[in-house]
Amino acid sequence: MYQHVLVAFGGVSPEHEVSVITAVQAASALKDSGLSLTPLYVSKSGRFLTGPQLLELESYKDLKTLEQQAVPCAFQTDALGRTVLSETRKGGLFSKPKVWPVDVVLVAFHGSEGENGAFQGLCEQYNLPYTGSGVMASSVGMDKRAAKVHAAACGVPVVEGLDFTEAEWAAGSEALLEKILALDTTVVVKPLRLGSSIGVEVVSGRDAIVRAVETGFRYDAHLLIEKAVRPLREVNCSVLGNAADAQASVCEQPKGSAELLSFQDKYMGDSGKGMASASRIIPAPIPEALTEAIQQASLRLFRELDASGVARFDFLVNDETGQFYFNEINTIPGSFSFYLWDKTGISFPQLMKKLLDIAVARHREKNGRVRSYETNLLSTKAVKGIKGLKGKG
Ligand SMILES: Nc1ncnc2c1ncn2[C@@H]1O[C@H](COP(=O)(O)OP(=O)(O)O)[C@@H](O)[C@H]1O
Ligand SMILES: [Mg+2]
């Protein structure tokens, strides 16, 4: 079993603050679990820090003081191959750096390196169990184009569109503009690898499109342009489990104040509450058949992607025709989508326990397979035959 949970959050991401909220919420859901929680806070500049105050929302009012008082740390593997979190600050002459045991990492980042597979890869490298999806599902989930290719391959409808890089735009913006104008009178411009609606714009007409494309390139070197779904209704569904055994939650209909859900709508409505505070209708007021189709599509996407833990699948529905389209995958959804599981019969503390159990079971499965190879191919005899080594020619 496991006892020591490392809660990893923050990160060099526009969703830094949202991640802090998710982590604090998760810690609070686990407060009666008997588990010991150690924070691993990645600051806005990318420093790894720890210290008990990092799981208190109050501490984040003054980030400067917070960073000064927190303890710099890093992963370290001991002689037995066990990974711990270790203090990296130099102590006194005879003082040993403090270390914290890690049985499982609770990954609570949103966006960028914390959600795109990079941090997941770090955990793999250190052979640590971690919650949520692995490297591949995380990377595909973060890239809107890759995610659409995946959805289409799963037979889930996607919105018609095109994508291009900044270099392609520089080389032939006129031809690309013609293609965009031929798509639809109103289109949506979005950076490929961001979240929280940053850089996403709904625009009509040549000038507005050019402006939105240029703005988009400030955020990402690769943009996706889609037909605008109108009249639009958004519906999201969460999936929990692993590829072999997954369940879908009730659906939600998030509500935006403007044409599209903005960062403001999603997170700033009721500060401190994260995604749970955004206004939404649960269950989404849509026909039963549509709910079922969206749940089935979400399960299919989750399984085929070999996702793990809790993910959220977002869809765009044409409210006139009832046609639904896959929009995006969130492999670490805001507040772990606990408000959807709550309404599906799984409480927030139960959800967190499940996430940790799944992480530990997946790690055990992986470690149960042969992963080390005793033969040393670089033993003297074998090396003799290799050309190009110094002195051997
Ligand atoms: N093709 C589309 N048609 C209409 N609205 C869209 C379309 N794509 C995105 N939007 C709107 O923009 C919002 C943000 O886009 P999304 O792809 O979800 O990016 P993000 O990763 O930033 O959340 C969506 O929630 C939706 O309101
Ligand atoms: Mg979105």
Say if 203 falls within a structural domain: yes
Query: pTM, whole model, 2 decimals?
Result: 0.91
CA of 379 to the centre of ligand 1 (A): 56
Per residue in 139-149, pLDDT tens?
999 999 999 99
CA of 376 to the centre of ligand 1 (A): 52
Q: Are residues 150 and 265 in the same domain?
A: yes
Q: Are residues 152 and 184 in the same domain?
A: no
User: Which residues are near ligand 1 (CB < 6 Å)?
Assistant: 159, 188, 190, 194-197, 200, 226, 228-229, 232, 234, 256, 260-261, 314, 316, 327-328
The pLDDT of 219-246, averaged and rounded, is 96
Task: Count how many domains the chain has.
Answer: 3
Q: Are residues 193 and 278 in the same domain?
A: no
Say if 354 falls within a structural domain: yes
Question: Cα angle at 45 between 42 and 46, to 5 degrees?
Answer: 40
- Contact 313/329 with Cβ under 8 angstroms? yes
CATH code: domain of residue 217: 3.30.1490.20
Q: What is the pLDDT of residue 78?
A: 83
Per residue in 293-342, pLDDT tens?
999 999 999 999 999 999 999 999 999 999 999 999 999 999 999 999 99
CA of 189 to the centre of ligand 2 (A): 13
Say if 370 falls within a structural domain: no
CA of 187 to the centre of ligand 1 (A): 11
Q: Which domain holds residue 99?
A: 4-130
Nearest CA to ligand 1 atom 19: 197
Q: Are residues 173 and 319 in the same domain?
A: no
Say if 276 falls within a structural domain: yes
Q: Are residues 190 and 247 in the same domain?
A: no
pLDDT-derived band at 389, boundaries 50, 70, 90: low
- Contact 225/189 with Cβ under 8 angstroms? yes
Q: Are residues 17 and 122 in the same domain?
A: yes
Q: CA of 178: how far to CAs of 159, 175, 189, 201, 210, in Å?
A: 18, 5, 15, 18, 11
Q: Are residues 237 and 346 in the same domain?
A: yes
Nearest CA to ligand 1 atom 1: 228
The position carrying tokens 């890093």 is 74
199: left (phi over 0), alpha (psi -120 to 50) or beta: left
Final residue belonging to a domain, choices 227, 262, 278: 227
pLDDT-derived band at 261, boundaries 50, 70, 90: low
- String of DSSP letters for 84-150: EEEE-S---SSPPPPEEE-SEEEE---SHHHHSSHHHHHHHHTT--BSS--HHHHHHHH-HHHHHHH
Helix (H, G, I), strand (E, B) or coil at 358: helix
Closest-lying ligand to the alpha carbon of 263? 1
Per residue in 42-92, pLDDT tens?
999 999 999 999 999 999 999 999 999 999 999 999 888 899 999 997 766
CATH code: domain of residue 21: 3.40.50.20
